[in-house]
Amino acid sequence: MYVILDIETTGGKYNEEGITEIAIYKYDGHQVVDQFISLVNPERPIQAFVVGLTGINNNMLRNAPKFYEVAKRIVEITEGCIIVAHNAQFDYRILSLEFDRLGFPFERTTLCTVELAQELLPGHKSYSLGKLTRALGIPMTDRHRASGDALATVKLFKMLLDKDTKKTIIQAAVRSFPKRQLDSKLRDMIEETPSVTGVYYFHNEHGKIIYIGKSKNIKKRITQHFTNDNRKSKKIQDEISHVTYEETGSELLALLKENEEIKRNKPKYNRALRRTKFQVQLHQFVDDQGYINLKTEKADPNRRAITTFSNRASAKAQLERIIDTYELCPNKTSLSTGTSSCFNYEIKKCNGACVAQETPQLYNQRVTSFVNTYSYENKSMLIIDKGRTVDERSVVFIQDGVFQGIGFYHLNFQLQSLEILKSIITPMQDNRDAQHIIQSYSRNKKHLKIIPLEQLVNS
């Protein structure tokens, strides 16, 4: 008995993904005898490019069942069956990852229709599900949705079963992925690290730092490093001698500390993270009619930016949110190049800057309000976040638009002067990556407390 399945995920770092949709069809070799299809609340954000690919967004999943609520049904429908999937190693890894988070030992054998098709249907230019089914004349609907992809895989698998007349190729292709047994050295290092937010350092036998990372849960992240089987992870596992860490309490401080330490130490396995963390920036200009326009563009250190974004998809999503929040006109941004009234004007969500119905003065007030909120150019302020203990707070210090550094203070000892503040701050380099981290984090974390520096000086 087989279960043909497809899984859609949030995307993200290896072994940090979550399931957003799952479709399972139980197949007896002739027909589908049972099925289970469901959206799943992954309890983590979906990557912007995945939203564009699948159409599944965070709002759709708000009321969907969480994985633990559908886990029993998945166990029941897959019991005693071989899991069949297109790129089975990926789907099985994600499914096992979700069960690992529940502490449940989920183990099944698998069949990969990519491998089977390459063996039984040689000569195709591509073995991706979309291109292969199209070449074979297999009808497909709802591409990149779990049910559509799983149904197409059912039809493909039926064709592969028919091709394997002696049933020897499919039998030989059955795989199992037993749980890896961790080396005692790695297991001991995991045991010695705490489940706290902070920055961690991997050292070789000579004490040299070979990798730096940050996590909201250091123990969990290091476990992922030591159980991953990609090439980079295996190299780290072979070379690592011991782990050190620094607790920060605040994820913002962990991000800034990681950025600083990677640039300073240049660890051999952090090559990708040495590059700039953002690709797109937002800048403003005044058009011929006197309206301030907002435009996204490729990051350019020689041009002044309001704020920065990791990639184009993130920039587009944020700009749409900004337009909605500040009631801006899409035609006055890079989202639309229209010369007549914008779509938002037609549905009464734009006040008419696109057709000169709203004056530049009124419109520009809202744009300026946005710029003042998102940019800290020329500002002097403190960003307060949680600390390492319940009676401690962390602080990010910005003076005249320049990032100065980070620190911690006890709630019983309030920051009462600029001198006290400077005494607790660990200086850090002000660079565009640090600016991007602060702006991006501030955009997404509404709980942050921001205090203008003049309040501290005048108190």
> Per residue in 99-149, pLDDT tens?
988 888 888 999 999 999 999 999 999 999 999 999 999 988 888 899 999
pLDDT at 355 over 60: yes
**pLDDT for res 230:** 78
Q: What is the average pLDDT across 20-40?
A: 95
Q: What is the average pLDDT across 293-304?
A: 87
pLDDT at 445 over 80: no
What residues contact 186, with CB distance under 8 A and at least 6 apart? 226, 237, 240
Count other C-beta atoms under 10 Å from residue 106's C-beta: 17
**pLDDT for res 277:** 66
Instruction: Kindly report the average pLDDT of the chain as a whole number.
Output: 90
Q: What is the average pLDDT across 233-237?
A: 91
Q: Where are the alpha helices (DSSP H) in 47-183?
A: 48-54, 58-61, 67-78, 88-102, 113-120, 129-136, 146-163, 169-173
pLDDT at 400 over 60: yes
Count other C-beta atoms under 10 Å from residue 223's C-beta: 19
Intervals of CATH 3.30.420.10 along the chain: 2-176
pLDDT at 75 over 70: yes
- Look up residue 41 and give its DSSP letter: B
Q: What is the average pLDDT across 267-271?
A: 89
184-274 CATH choice from 3.40.1440.10, 3.30.70.1520, 1.20.1600.10, 3.40.50.720: 3.40.1440.10
pLDDT at 360 over 80: yes
Across 118-132, 269-283, 431-445, the highest mean pLDDT is recorded for: 118-132
pLDDT at 180 over 80: no
pLDDT at 274 over 60: no
Q: What is the average pLDDT across 158-183?
A: 80
| In the chain, % of residues over pLDDT 70 | 97
Measure the CA–CA gap between 343 and 350, rounded to whole angstroms: 8
For the ranges 39-43, 82-86, 300-304, the lowest mean pLDDT is seen at 300-304
Q: What is the average pLDDT across 236-264?
A: 95
Closest CA to 313 of 271, 265, 279: 279
**Confidence class for position 272, pLDDT limits 50, 70, 90:** low
Across 45-54, 263-272, 381-390, the highest mean pLDDT is recorded for: 381-390
CATH class of 2-176: alpha beta
pLDDT at 28 over 70: yes
Q: What is the average pLDDT across 355-373?
A: 93
For the ranges 24-28, 233-237, 288-292, 438-442, the lowest mean pLDDT is seen at 438-442
Closest CA to 220 of 238, 200, 237: 200
Angle, vertex CA 398, rays to CA 443 and CA 198, nearest 5? 65
pTM assigned to the model:
0.64
Closest CA to 228 of 1, 13, 68: 13
Q: What is the average pLDDT across 212-229?
A: 90
**pLDDT for res 453:** 87
**pLDDT for res 459:** 53
Intervals of CATH 3.40.1440.10 along the chain: 184-274
**pLDDT for res 229:** 75
